[in-house]
């Protein structure tokens, strides 16, 4: 019995990701969990909350994992690092406050959360054992059990604080009425959009203006150092064309990896999920009615993918039209699996109830367990084998090239090209900021170009196209650009400046004319502008190519016939007149009351929780419990 108890305790943890989605929580969703125990030295501590440290290693680890999934532009690296640090500090602050108040997460609470989100961890209420549990955690979330165990505790702990802060929040009748009016008032506008780029084409500065602009802003027009580079390319594409792979070679590959071609029973499905986790019985009944309405639309032929994007609450598949990809038996919950494998290709299920909520399932394709034949897979085997052999040949040739370049500083690029069948080409003059598209815009190539001396050969550098050997042929030093060199840039600057002024002038003149009583369309036409009329829009709508309802907030306070002040929308200007205004229909209030209440509650709760976070942080800093050492973060760019 003790062993069973220990196993259950080990299984009583899960992940933060799903918890945060359910809570609509404050955790930064793109942050990934750090592995406990990074072994960072105390000198790498960037923050301390009580006796808990946040290390530079933790920040680096999370940033690296974000970069594996999404490229982080270098200028934004410091911003990401700051957000990661803030989040890690907040986690420690929550821990500190929980300890002070005696708030803990029980084993039973963790077990209940596992049953909601990892149903495969229990069979008939009994924990399946660590091996199977760990395998499922790894397969689903690419995380180890220790990380899951810590994250479930953190998520539930924050949930307790969120409930303490937000449970007493309510929405008053006046707030509901104001929100109802705000969301349901509609206006129709006459409007014109004035775009400087369209006016710039008609502006032709005189030579005197161009010269004056150049002399006035001469320091702006600097020409950076530019280099012309000859390069020899060992093209892997050409090598691939000469490689022949026989069926016998492919068969050996097929036999050696036969297990890869074993296909289990599987089904390719889409689904629409209506979440019921944490809902009351009354709310579940309402959710079921909504799900049934969507099911009727699907059965009548509405596009399933569009319905999923509109109604599904599964964040992992919603944007993909509900597509879950291929699933195998044992991979999902029993109710879902039984239905999915029982449907025919193209068939749509009735409502399926699981612990997540109500699902509508559509089967796109099905496959019975089997081993794919050699003929089925040989074409897919050929390309990787050709690519592998071409890479090997190219790497061998690059080694020989490097050896030849090291042996003699007198060997020429042309000699190497003849001996190793390199394709020789030359770049245009390029600066350090110019892209080198012909060489795959490789950073390593760019660095080498601006490091090499004139006529010096680089060692072979690998690029997307193959290996290149570089030779700088010409260097033009940075210098003050003459008017002849920068004339095009000066003209463009003049055009943009004049077009911006002209757009503002036209906007002001149009507004003045319409306010004076001139018809909008006639006034716009006289100024060479196109007058348009919008549809009825609410504050949550937008006018395509113009402004959003939120940007037009002042227009909703006006009467029909009123003309708004010219609006600056970046470089673009907009002038509008309120043609009609439609007040909120009181008869719609009761229909929207429930959703309006939920939306307002969510907003107020989010604001309250953010205020709690700020207050907690400020208090702990004032008490000296939070200490930051952000100098350690200087390696992340302009961190401040």
Enumerate residues 6+ apart whose C-beta is below 8 A from 117.
14, 15, 18, 19
pLDDT value at residue 132? 82
> How confident is the model at residue 363, as a pLDDT?
96
With the C-alpha atoms ordered 60, 64, 70, 72, is the resulting torsion angle positive or negative?
A: positive
| pLDDT of the residue at 7 | 36
pTM: 0.56
Phi/psi of residue 532, each to 5°? -130, 165
Looking at 24-76, list the stretches that DSSP marks H as alpha helix, in order from N- to C-terminal side: 56-69
Q: Residue 361 in contact with residue 270, Cβ under 8 Å?
A: yes
Of the candidates 218, 223, 215, 309, the one whose C-alpha atom is nearest the C-alpha of residue 270 is: 309
- pLDDT score, position 36: 43
What is the set of domains in the chain, with CATH numbers? 2-168+622-636 (1.10.4030), 186-220+485-582 (3.10.50), 225-245+376-477 (3.10.50), 265-368 (3.10.50.40)
Angle, CA of 501, 507 and 509, to the nearest 5° = 100
- Phi and psi dihedrals of 28, rounded to 5? -70, 115
> Can you list the residues of the chain whose pLDDT is less than 50?
1-42
In angstroms, what is the C-alpha Rg of the chain?
Answer: 33
Q: What spatial distance separates the first Cα and last Cα of the chain, rounded to whole Å?
A: 55
Tell me which residue of 248, 213, 184, 218 sits closest to 583, measured CA to CA: 184
Q: Enumerate the β-bridge partners of residue 371.
A: 262
- Taking alpha carbons only, the member of 445, 430, 441, 413 closest to residue 476 is 430
CB 468 within 8 A of CB 233: yes
User: Which helix (H) or strand (E) covers residue 394, if one does?
Assistant: helix 374-407
Q: How far is 324 from 312, CA to CA, in rounded Å?
A: 12
- Across 321-478, where does the E strand assignment appear? 323-328, 352-353, 357-367, 370-371, 423-426, 461-462, 466-476
At residue 152, the 3 state secondary structure works out as helix
């Amino acid at each position: 019995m003790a062993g069973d108890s220990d196993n259950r305790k080990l299984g009583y943890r899960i992940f933060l990701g799903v918890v945060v989605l359910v809570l609509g929580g404050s955790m930064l969703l793109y942050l990934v969990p750090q592995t406990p125990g990074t072994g960072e030295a105390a000198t790498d501590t960037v923050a301390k909350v009580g006796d808990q440290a946040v290390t530079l290693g933790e920040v680096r680890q999370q940033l690296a994992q974000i970069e594996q999934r999404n490229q982080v532009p270098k200028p934004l690296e410091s911003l990401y690092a700051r957000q990661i640090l803030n989040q890690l500090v907040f986690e420690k602050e929550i821990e500190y406050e929980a300890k002070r108040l005696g708030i803990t997460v029980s084993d039973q609470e963790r077990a209940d959360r596992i049953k909601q989100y990892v149903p495969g961890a229990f069979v008939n209420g009994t924990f399946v054992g660590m091996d199977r549990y760990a395998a499922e955690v790894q397969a689903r979330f690419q995380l180890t059990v220790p990380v899951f165990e810590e994250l479930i505790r953190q998520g539930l702990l924050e949930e307790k604080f969120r409930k303490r802060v937000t449970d007493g929040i309510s929405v008053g009748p006046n707030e509901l009425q104001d929100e109802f009016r705000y969301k349901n008032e509609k206006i129709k506008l006459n409007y014109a959009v004035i775009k400087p780029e369209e006016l710039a084409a008609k502006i032709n500065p005189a030579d005197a203006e161009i010269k004056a602009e150049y002399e006035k802003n001469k320091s702006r027009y600097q020409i950076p150092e530019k280099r012309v580079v000859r390069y020899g390319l060992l093209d892997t594409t050409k090598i691939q064309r000469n490689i022949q792979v026989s069926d016998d070679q492919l068969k050996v590959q097929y036999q050696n990896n036969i297990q890869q071609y074993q296909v289990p029973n599987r089904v390719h499905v889409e689904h629409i999920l209506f979440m019921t986790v944490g809902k009351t019985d009354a709310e579940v009944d309402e959710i079921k009615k909504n799900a049934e309405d969507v099911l009727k639309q699907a059965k009548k032929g509405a596009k399933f993918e569009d319905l999923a994007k509109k109604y599904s609450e599964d964040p992992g598949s919603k944007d993909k039209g509900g597509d879950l990809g291929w699933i195998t038996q044992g991979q999902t919950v029993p109710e879902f699996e039984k239905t999915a494998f029982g449907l025919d290709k193209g068939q749509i299920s009735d409502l399926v109830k699981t612990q997540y909520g109500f699902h509508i399932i559509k089967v796109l394709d099905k496959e019975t367990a089997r081993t794919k034949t050699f003929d089925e897979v040989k074409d897919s085997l050929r390309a990787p084998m050709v690519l592998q052999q071409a890479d090997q040949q190219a790497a061998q040739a690059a080694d020989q090239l490097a050896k030849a370049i090291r042996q003699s500083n007198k060997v020429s690029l042309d000699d190497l090209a003849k001996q190793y069948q390199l394709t020789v080409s030359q770049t245009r003059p390029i600066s350090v900021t110019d892209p080198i598209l012909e060489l795959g815009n490789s950073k390593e190539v760019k660095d080498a170009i601006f490091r090499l001396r004139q006529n010096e050969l680089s060692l072979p550098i690998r690029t997307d196209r193959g290996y290149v050997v570089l030779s700088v042929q010409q260097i033009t030093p940075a210098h003050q650009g003459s008017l002849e060199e920068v004339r095009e840039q000066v003209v463009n600057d003049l055009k943009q400046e004049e077009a911006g002024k002209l757009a503002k002038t036209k906007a002001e003149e149009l507004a003045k004319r319409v306010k004076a009583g001139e018809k909008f369309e006639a006034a716009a036409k006289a100024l060479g502008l196109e007058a348009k009329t919008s549809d009825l829009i609410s504050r949550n709508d937008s006018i395509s190519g113009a402004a959003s309802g939120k940007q037009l907030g002042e227009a909703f306070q006006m009467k029909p016939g009123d003309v708004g002040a010219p609006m600056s929308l970046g470089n673009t200007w907009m002038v509008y007149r309120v043609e009609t205004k439609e007040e909120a229909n009181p008869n719609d209030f009761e229909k929207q009351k429930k959703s309006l209440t939920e939306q307002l509650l969510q907003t107020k709760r989010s604001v309250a929780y953010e205020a709690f976070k700020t207050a907690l942080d400020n208090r702990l800093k004032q008490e000296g419990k939070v200490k930051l050492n952000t100098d350690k973060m200087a390696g992340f760019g302009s961190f401040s």
